[in-house]
Structure 1
Amino acid sequence: MTLEQRLAPTALPDTRHRQVTERLLKGSGVRLNGDQPWDICVRHPDLFRRVLHQGSLGLGEAYMEGWWDCEQIDEMIYRLLKHGLGHRAHTFGERIAYRLQAGVINLQSRRRAGEVGKVHYDFGNDLFTLMLDTTLCYSCGYWKGLATTPDNLQLAQEAKLDLACRKLGLEPGMRVLDIGCGWGSFAAYAAHHYGVEVVGITISAEQAALAREYCSGLPVEILLKDYRDEDFRREVGTFDAIVSIGMFEHVGHKNYATYFTHAARLLRPGGRFVLHTIGSNQSDISADPWVNRYIFPNGVLPSASQLIRASEDHLIMEDWHNFGADYDPTLMAWRANLDAHWNALADTYSPRDKRMFEYYLGACAGAFRARQLQLWQVVFTHGTAGRYDAPR
């Protein structure tokens, strides 16, 4: 009998669920009802059974429903991951079911691609406007040389945008495509500071509406488009540079080659393409079940080898920059903003909504702190003469 079978929740009486939980936590520094801010305060007697049976999904849903509390979810998750409990986040059945589903179905097809827009990005522009900074960047900031405090969030985001612009070698008059433009942060920055024209595309109607407002008065066009739309290239032509920030996580392994095929066709000879994406340490087709249900439906993180295999027939990789550790302070700054502005949102959003975002931001910060997740900026070209030295 395997260890997993011996510890199967359905085979244990209630008193044993707590004992198993305590045994799993031993050595992690996280205790039940302890006095440290990363300890778990139990509010419901069935918490242990639920988490042992449902893994990450049960843990996240239980927090949303008030079954447990923790002052520092980020530090709790960090300690649990460093203790090696990350593999228990997915139950065996969930792992098999997701692999079978992802192997048969294109979870990020054109028809399904809009789900993440409706579930997450359309959640509410008012919430995201207050949670983010004035750049409206919803991706990792670049904290090099900055104190990692919430007050510096805007500076970190501006540094990230400027870093991408410098890697692209932008000059006045260039035409730039922003794949997955979000609320227009990069488009507005590049147009204002580098004098370029930008076409931004998104599949979120709410994002497109706010992006058009945010970029008003600038040479920026925001389109509600999927990068795979057959008529897209005929409508917009080709570009001197392409950027994609925080969108590749929604592409899916079945579409990686298609993505790079389209990027290569849209990029003019001599142009550069900067891809900014969260990355996974393993080449595994999987997704956290709680994140997949409540935050980013159908999302999947690429590995380094998957990116290389998908791009090698289309573009040349010139530079690979990992600053995944910078996502930790970015997420913590968003959490600080959420707490500071919640009173202005409380009439629109429920306490359950707030707890969902608390768990999401804290858990992700803990994962980046534990270096379980990475953040890559990769520069591609068609192959330019001479060497390319990427800015840092």
Structure 2
Amino acid sequence: METEDSLALEPVGRSPAEQEAPAVIRDLAAEAGITINGDAPWDIQVFDDEVYRRILTQGSLGLGEAYMDGLWECERLDEFFHRLLAVDADERIGGWARARLLGEILRHSLFNLQSSRRAFQVGEQHYDIGNDVFESMLDPTMSYSCAYWDDAAGLRDAQQKKLDMICRKLELRPGERLLEIGCGWGGLARFAAEHYRVEVVGITVSKEQQKLAQERCAGLPVSIELMDYRDLDARFDKVVSVGMFEHVGPKNYAVYFDTVDRVLKDDGLFLLHTIGNAVTSPKTDAWIDKYIFPNGKLPSAREIAAAVENRFLIEDWHNFGQDYDRTLMAWWENFQTAWPFLEARYGKRFYRMWKYYLLSCAGFFRARQGQLWQLVLSKRERSAVYRSVR
């Protein structure tokens, strides 16, 4: 249990302090340029030796929970994770916690964690926590996905550039009907309806997102539905999905792309915007799965390509994953500024959880384990030549 006193403890350790850690942890930290109880901003300050046991037995879950419990601290969590992930520490820590690692692999292999029955869990646990958190953290468009920072003046400008780039990539024309799978708080739907004069149907698994998106899109030709993508049954000129594919899961890729194929007109375009993993992995991060995005799974390029083959043609594949680092740091700055107004409702443990989430993810993209892809896909029946947009 976190207390005021636990956060004020002094680091433990003899001289040299880092020798208190088990050799495997100490050596891996040193390889990443991290000194346990050192003076650099990215050095970890350990307040309780329990941290080491949790890391060795529970891997990333133990590391994250120990942070939430106030057992360790780091001035620059983003850089701490950048350095660890640059040497693939997540995989090597998982190797020590073999029993848990095997359990995670079997869990993803044997069960469909993203089934229709489970589809609304991530909405209830993550997106429904409170719109005030997201309104405080995000830009005015309420875009909860990677911004496009090319010549952008700030977060709002970068998100608007991203939204406009999506619309241009989709070649939206006035009067067309656009489906958005995973519409968030309606930022893209509103932008497309206002600036490209299209009709939009957005779907979400979050009741809080649906409510706010409907309010934000009032008076526009926009419909926001609470539903799973597998239940779609209509036809659209264009389809877009931004930041939702991470919740689909490999066992459902075929159903997902078949659904898009079914609802997309033959001459239409489909834009898929998704976080990607630099390598194909049989598991997901255990801490992220438990506390942030339950049942999520990042795709690799190989997995996407295999699922798309014989369904769609790849017209364009755009990677701007390094922009996610900057986006996350901007979100963290906004969240930290707003925290005095949020603290009474959410408490310090939530603060540490959210800080760990945003800054560990920034390190994930900075280390280039994390990618951000926008794919433009079409059917073979489409005859028009596609010209890439940047």
| Alignment partner, residue 109 of structure 1 | 115
1:46-125 correspondence runs (5 A): 46-90=50-94, 91-125=97-131
1:17 positional shift? 3.8
1:270 is paired with a residue whose SS is strand
* Pairing 1:223–2:225 present: yes
Partner of residue 160 from structure 1, selected from 162, 171, 180: 162
User: Does structure 1 conserve the Cα–Cα contact (< 8 Å) formed by 2:238 and 2:265?
Assistant: yes
User: Does structure 2 conserve the Cα–Cα contact (< 8 Å) formed by 1:166 and 1:391?
Assistant: yes
Partner of residue 192 from structure 1, selected from 191, 194, 205: 194
User: Does structure 2 conserve the Cα–Cα contact (< 8 Å) formed by 1:44 and 1:67?
Assistant: yes
Moved over 6 A (4+): none
| Alignment partner, residue 11 of structure 1 | none
Q: What stretches of structure 1 of length at least 5 have no aligned partner? A: 1-13
Whole-Å separation in 2 of the counterparts to 1:17 and 1:33: 10
| Alignment partner, residue 386 of structure 2 | 388
* Pairing 1:311–2:317 present: no
| Alignment partner, residue 7 of structure 1 | none
Whole-Å separation in 1 of the counterparts to 2:125 and 2:298: 18
Partner of residue 328 from structure 1, selected from 322, 325, 328: 325
Partner of residue 268 from structure 2, selected from 232, 246, 271: 271
1:16 positional shift? 6.0
Whole-Å separation in 2 of the counterparts to 1:317 and 1:19: 47
Whole-Å separation in 1 of the counterparts to 2:112 and 2:24: 38
State the Cα deviation string for residues 277-302 of structure 1 (Å, max 9, x = none). 00112222210000000000010011
Larger displacement relative to structure 2 (86-95 or 48-57): 86-95
Whole-Å separation in 1 of the counterparts to 2:112 and 2:25: 36
User: Does structure 1 conserve the Cα–Cα contact (< 8 Å) formed by 2:182 and 2:244?
Assistant: yes
1:35 positional shift? 1.7
Q: 1:176 to 1:386 in 2, by over 3 A?
A: closer
| Alignment partner, residue 6 of structure 2 | none
Whole-Å separation in 1 of the counterparts to 2:180 and 2:24: 49
User: Does structure 1 conserve the Cα–Cα contact (< 8 Å) formed by 2:56 and 2:93?
Assistant: no
Whole-Å separation in 1 of the counterparts to 2:309 and 2:23: 50
Q: Identity over the aligned pairs, expressed in percent?
A: 52
User: Does structure 1 conserve the Cα–Cα contact (< 8 Å) formed by 2:325 and 2:362?
Assistant: yes
2:158 is paired with a residue whose SS is helix
AA partner of residue 57 (structure 1): L
User: Does structure 2 conserve the Cα–Cα contact (< 8 Å) formed by 1:133 and 1:154?
Assistant: yes
Q: Number of residues paired by the alignment?
A: 370
1:306 positional shift? 1.0
Whole-Å separation in 1 of the counterparts to 2:376 and 2:304: 12
| Alignment partner, residue 6 of structure 1 | none
1:163-182 correspondence runs (5 A): 163-182=165-184
User: Does structure 1 conserve the Cα–Cα contact (< 8 Å) formed by 2:210 and 2:225?
Assistant: yes
| Alignment partner, residue 372 of structure 1 | 369
User: Does structure 2 conserve the Cα–Cα contact (< 8 Å) formed by 1:183 and 1:207?
Assistant: yes
Partner of residue 247 from structure 2, selected from 236, 246, 250: 250
AA partner of residue 104 (structure 1): L
| Alignment partner, residue 37 of structure 1 | 41
2:238 is paired with a residue whose SS is strand
Relative to the length of structure 1, the TM-score reads 0.92
State the Cα deviation string for residues 278-337 of structure 1 (Å, max 9, x = none). 011222221000000000001001111111111122211111001111100000001000
1:49 is paired with a residue whose SS is helix
State the Cα deviation string for residues 105-161 of structure 1 (Å, max 9, x = none). 1100011111111111111111111011111000000011236xxxx1111111111
AA partner of residue 354 (structure 2): F
State the Cα deviation string for residues 365-389 of structure 1 (Å, max 9, x = none). 0010010010100001113325311
Whole-Å separation in 2 of the counterparts to 1:36 and 1:217: 53
2:265 is paired with a residue whose SS is strand
User: Does structure 1 conserve the Cα–Cα contact (< 8 Å) formed by 2:178 and 2:199?
Assistant: yes
Whole-Å separation in 2 of the counterparts to 1:288 and 1:93: 15
Whole-Å separation in 2 of the counterparts to 1:242 and 1:19: 52
AA partner of residue 221 (structure 1): S
1:80 positional shift? 1.1
AA partner of residue 149 (structure 2): W
Whole-Å separation in 2 of the counterparts to 1:328 and 1:89: 23
Q: What stretches of structure 2 of length at least 5 have no aligned partner? A: 1-17
1:218 positional shift? 1.1
* Pairing 1:354–2:351 present: yes
| Alignment partner, residue 10 of structure 2 | none
User: Does structure 1 conserve the Cα–Cα contact (< 8 Å) formed by 2:26 and 2:36?
Assistant: yes
| Alignment partner, residue 132 of structure 2 | 126
1:94 positional shift? 2.5
1:6-25 correspondence runs (5 A): 17-25=21-29
Relative to the length of structure 2, the TM-score reads 0.92
RMSD between aligned alpha carbons? 1.5
Whole-Å separation in 2 of the counterparts to 1:141 and 1:191: 20
User: Does structure 2 conserve the Cα–Cα contact (< 8 Å) formed by 1:201 and 1:223?
Assistant: yes
User: Does structure 2 conserve the Cα–Cα contact (< 8 Å) formed by 1:17 and 1:52?
Assistant: no
Q: 1:18 to 1:225 in 2, by over 3 A?
A: same
2:31 is paired with a residue whose SS is coil
